[in-house]
Amino acid sequence: MIIVTNDEGAAGVEAAAASLREGKAALDAVQAGIEPVEADPAIRSVGRGGLPTMLGIVECDAAIMDGATRMTGAVGALRGYLHAIAAARLVMERLPHVMLAGEGAARFAGEMGLEAAEMLTGEARAAHASWVRKRGLDDLVNGVAHAPLTSLAWPMPTSRTGGTVIYLAMDRHGHLSAGASTSGWAYKYPGRLGDSPLIGAGIYADDRCGACGCTHTGEMTIRCGTARSVVLLMKGGARVAEACHEAAADLGDLRGGFLGPVVIHAIDRHGEPYALAVNAPASIDFWLWTHDLEQPQRQSCAQARATQGDES
């Protein structure tokens, strides 16, 4: 049994480990780990307390995947509900679809009886007001939703691209699961979806090969299909570390668009973990728990540099 989560997942790692100790499935452990993070208002990039869109509205994305069946569920731009990961799992279990977004996602969450919540905390509201006032856009603070926003999308500070919580789990039966949840980039353009709800970009799990979860610059991992790439490389015989580094090299070949750091977390089908921070400006940690560890352990990600830039 194993749990891998990034540093944002610290609030839930004990719950995820307890779930596996109790004999529950990897899917249950992933959800158990993510929900405390979504409910913690001190975490400014996931769930309640997450920093909002340019218009001051918190929009959450989440996805979950079952490695035994490769069934998946996801929600994007979900407003007004505490646990996006629960909504994603219910999409997987109750609908013929894989993803719901926007108003449809919120309608479904309500039909499923999920907990409605005011996701914008006072602290996040004040931070948003300060952000728009510094740019001379008091109309946004005053609720004018039709002010032009495109010019605010660039430049986007790299520091705003982190914060997704990802969980990878293997249960006692060797089944794998992956999940992710986020409120996305701080002050993103309304409706922006990153890699978290996109199966194959932000997460992927396949009992036959392994599981992967990505954080930080989702625009890049969408373009490369990074999570699925790592798993496919392991399917082709690469060791988990080799697969992560090969995927990092693929990210390094991107040209144009927004380029920034990416952190890749993976486990192979035998439960071997690896975490790789690509072009990260500083050291980045992750959390690891296995059945033979009494407590989860915080560990440092390996580091890699991948050449990036516009074509000359």
Q: List active site positions.
A: 164
Q: Which helix (H) or strand (E) holds 102?
A: helix 102-111
- 61 neighbors 43 (Cβ within 8 angstroms): no
Nearest-Å Rg of the Cα atoms of the chain is 18
* Percent of the chain that is helix, strand, coil (3-state, to 5): 35, 25, 40
| Adjacency order of strands within the sheet including 71-78 | 99-101, 71-78, 60-66, 176-182, 165-170, 2-6, 285-290, 297-300
DSSP state of 47: S
- 187 neighbors 54 (Cβ within 8 angstroms): yes
User: Nearest-CA neighbor of 120 among 59, 164, 196?
Assistant: 59
d(Cα 87, Cα 269) in Å, to the nearest integer? 27
By DSSP bridging, strand 2-6 and strand 285-290 are antiparallel
d(Cα 285, Cα 294) in Å, to the nearest integer? 19
Task: Name residue, tokens 């032009």.
Answer: 148
Listed in sequence order, the residues at least 6 apart from 76 whose beta carbon sits closer than 8 Å to its beta carbon are 61, 99, 100, 101, 102, 105, 193, 197
DSSP state of 189: P
* Residue length of the chain: 312
- 306 neighbors 298 (Cβ within 8 angstroms): no
